[in-house]
Structure 1
Amino acid sequence: MKIAVVQMTTGPDSVENLAHALGKLEEAATQGARLVVFPEATSQAFDSGRLDTQAQDLEGPFASGLREAARAHGVTLVAGMFRPADTVEREGKTIERVYNTALITGPDIHRGYDKIHTFDAYSYRESDTVKPGAELVLFDVEGVTVGVATCYDIRFPEQFRDLARQGAEVIVVPTSWMDGPEKLYQWRTLTAARALDSTSWIVAAGQARPGGAEMAGQATGPTGIGHSCVVGPTGRREAEAGYEPEIIVYDLDLEQVAKARKSLPVL
Structure 2
Amino acid sequence: MRIGIVQLTSGGDIVDNLALARDQIREAASRGATLIVLPEAASHAFGAGRLDSQAQELDGLYATGLRELARELGVTVVAGMFRPADTVEREGRAFHRVYNTALVTGPDVHLGYDKIHTFDAFDYRESDTVKPGSELVTFEVDGVTVGVATCYDIRFPVQFQDLARRGAQVIVVPTSWMDGPEKLYQWRTLTAARALDSTSWIVAAGQARPGGQEQAGQSSGPTGIGHSCVVGPTGRREAEAGYEPEIIVMDLDMDEVTKARKTLPVL
Name the TM tier (shorter chain).
Answer: over 0.9
Q: Could you tell me which residue of structure 2 aligns to residue 105 of structure 1? A: 105
- Matched pairs, number: 267
CA distance in 1, matches of 2:29, 2:192: 27
Unaligned ranges ≥5, structure 1 = none
Q: Could you tell me which residue of structure 2 aligns to residue 61 of structure 1? A: 61
Q: Could you tell me which residue of structure 2 aligns to residue 252 of structure 1? A: 252
CA distance in 2, matches of 1:68, 1:31: 19
Unaligned ranges ≥5, structure 2 = none
Runs of 4+ in 1 over 6 A off after TM superposition: none
CA distance in 2, matches of 1:2, 1:91: 49
Residue identity opposite 1:127 in structure 2: S
Residues 65-93 of structure 1: CA deviation (Å, up to 9, x unaligned): 00000000000010000000001001111
Q: Could you tell me which residue of structure 2 aligns to residue 26 of structure 1? A: 26
Deviation (angstroms), 1:262: 0.1
**What's the % identity of the aligned pairs?**
78
RMSD: 0.3
Residues 178-232 of structure 1: CA deviation (Å, up to 9, x unaligned): 0000000000000000000000000000000000011111110000000000000
CA distance in 2, matches of 1:176, 1:90: 26
Q: Could you tell me which residue of structure 1 aligns to residue 195 of structure 2? A: 195
CA distance in 1, matches of 2:132, 2:157: 17
Residues 237-256 of structure 1: CA deviation (Å, up to 9, x unaligned): 00000000000000001100
CA distance in 1, matches of 2:265, 2:208: 35
CA distance in 2, matches of 1:147, 1:78: 11
State whether structure 2 residue 87 is matched by structure 1 residue 90.
no
CA distance in 2, matches of 1:11, 1:235: 33
Tell me the TM-score normalized by structure 1.
Answer: 1.00
Residues 1-60 of structure 1: CA deviation (Å, up to 9, x unaligned): 000000000000000000000000100110000000000000000011000010000000
Deviation (angstroms), 1:95: 1.0
Residues 97-129 of structure 1: CA deviation (Å, up to 9, x unaligned): 000000000000000000000000000000000
CA distance in 2, matches of 1:25, 1:247: 9
